[in-house]
Amino acid sequence: MKSKITLLMLALIIAWGCTEEDSPMTDNSNVPNTGKPVRNIPQQNVVPNKALLLKVDYLTQSFEGGKELVFPNNPNFNLTWAYNPPIDFGSVTLVYADEGQPIFEGTIVWMGLGAMSYPQSLVPASSFAIGGALPMPNNNAFLFLDYSQTNFTVPYAAIWDAIKNLQIVAQYRVSNPNAPIRIFVYTPSVGVGNPADWDYFVLLKN
């Protein structure tokens, strides 16, 4: 009887002395002993690296659709052009140089009609949510990408009117208000080209 009582008391003493820090299920071998409780450090939110491409008709300056492009995280956003003048068949490609990825690609045909090949499709204008109208930024906020050195006269105010009510445009401008609003003209038909085939493209960076 005494031996049973002695074993019971020994078990209670061992259980009392075994704390969470001493438990074999808790591995504290890599935790520095600072004398202070260990706290989890919250991770900083990483803003996705995105660009917004919007299509505006050349003649009517009406919004026709767009595409949001997502890239790997990168603090830089440098662009380059690959332009092949259309002696018969030409092309133009806008490249995100820091990632080596295309933003826009399209063919250009002399006395014919080319087509946009990247993005392969655009989200239609009717799918974009509408919000309050944004005031037009200063003219210095716009940057015309004149890859063909054609010296177009760009109607910045009319183009801005076409996209100023889009909620996604407001989101991009709030996220990165100092980013230039890049604009270029895509002319798939040249020679005796038909401006009804042409479009402005607006490029925003978040």
| DSSP element (H, E) containing 169 | helix 167-175
| 194-203 pLDDT tens trace | 999 999 999 9
Report the pLDDT value the prediction gives residue 147, as an integer from 0 to 100. 92
Report the pLDDT value the prediction gives residue 174, as an integer from 0 to 100. 96
Q: Which of 100, 37, 109 is nearest to 72 (CA)?
A: 100
- Whole-number percent of the chain with pLDDT over 70: 78
pLDDT class for 47, splitting at 50, 70, 90? confident
Half-sphere exposure of 137 (CA within 13 A, CB side): 20
Domain regions of the chain by residue span: 49-205
Question: What is the token pair recorded at 145?
Answer: 């990408």
pLDDT class for 149, splitting at 50, 70, 90? confident
For the full predicted model, state whether its pTM sits above 0.85. no
Judge contact between 31 and 131, C-beta under 8 A.
Answer: no
Phi, psi at 50, each rounded to 5°: -130, 155
d(C-alpha 157, C-alpha 134), whole Å: 12
d(C-alpha 28, C-alpha 34), whole Å: 12
Q: What is the CA radius of gyration of the chain?
A: 30
Residue 36 has pLDDT above 50, yes or no: no
